[in-house]
Amino acid sequence: MTGTLTIAGLGPGNDAMVTPEVTAALASATDILGYAPYVARVPPRAGLKLHPSDNREELQRASEALRLASEGGQVVVVSSGDPGVFAMASAVFEALEQAPQYQALPIRVLPGITAMLAAAARAGAPLGHDFCAINLSDNLKPWSVIEKRLRLAADGDFSIAMYNPRSASRPEGFGRALGALRDAGCGERLVIFARAVSAADEKIVTVTLNEATPEMADMRTLVIVGNSQTRRVGRWVYAPRRVE
């Protein structure tokens, strides 16, 4: 029997935002692998094995998924949001590059609603013009790279979606990011703090960058910094379609 490997995005948290394609993949899976809180979102059932693991075990998780699929399993690796956005798809292909014996395996990547897009929809349309996404975690890249990318994004007048802003182990990083953007002249730009989007404790707060503080974000927060023309209309925030 030939197994399969599916890399699936579970969306931002609410089951209503899981795509039918992903739901079908989960229903036919024999093995589910992923970061423990994401695996916990998959209901147990007969014939399904759940393999939760720690957040920093991406390559080990990917290698195990390839092995299980090669042995005939219908394997699904789950991520929150979209698996190709700061998530497990890259880790699986990195593991595959190191293990060419698995390259004939049927592999598919199923998209999901990203935190960035879910947060933007709640706020209005802050990504309505050119934008970029930057991961503020320095686990896999030096802070100097993060700071350079923030400066260049500000100089290019992009709206900026910032993932993983502030963890307990590196609380100072987000303050540095805010400082870098202020130094780049972005103090009057609107900043959206979207926490736990689609969950019961969802909270959306919009302030200017000058009013923003590091304590306003944690690892459940997606932060969107508007471009120079981003504006409010009532309670909504949007980026105009035209550049003036």
Domain positions in the chain: 4-113, 116-238
pLDDT given for residue 243 in this prediction: 83
The reply to whether 116-238 shares the fold of 4-113 is no
What kind of fold does domain 4-113 have according to CATH?
Cobalt-precorrin-4 Transmethylase; domain 1 (3.40.1010)
What kind of fold does domain 116-238 have according to CATH?
3.30.950
Q: How many CB atoms lie within 10 A of CB 28?
A: 12
pLDDT along the chain (244 residues), means of 10: 91 94 98 97 96 93 98 97 97 97 97 97 97 94 96 98 86 92 97 94 96 94 98 97 85
Angstrom CA distances, 158 to 36, 161, 242, stand at 34, 9, 13
C-alpha torsion sign, points 52, 116, 160, 6? positive
Residues 166 and 218 sit within 8 Å (Cβ to Cβ)? yes
C-alpha torsion sign, points 205, 206, 208, 214? positive
pLDDT given for residue 220 in this prediction: 92
Tell me the C-alpha distance between 125 and 53, whole Å.
35
Tell me the C-alpha distance between 89 and 147, whole Å.
25
pLDDT given for residue 29 in this prediction: 98
Which residues partner with 224 through β-bridges? Answer: 161, 192
What tokens does 50 get? 């759940």
pLDDT given for residue 56 in this prediction: 84
pLDDT given for residue 168 in this prediction: 73
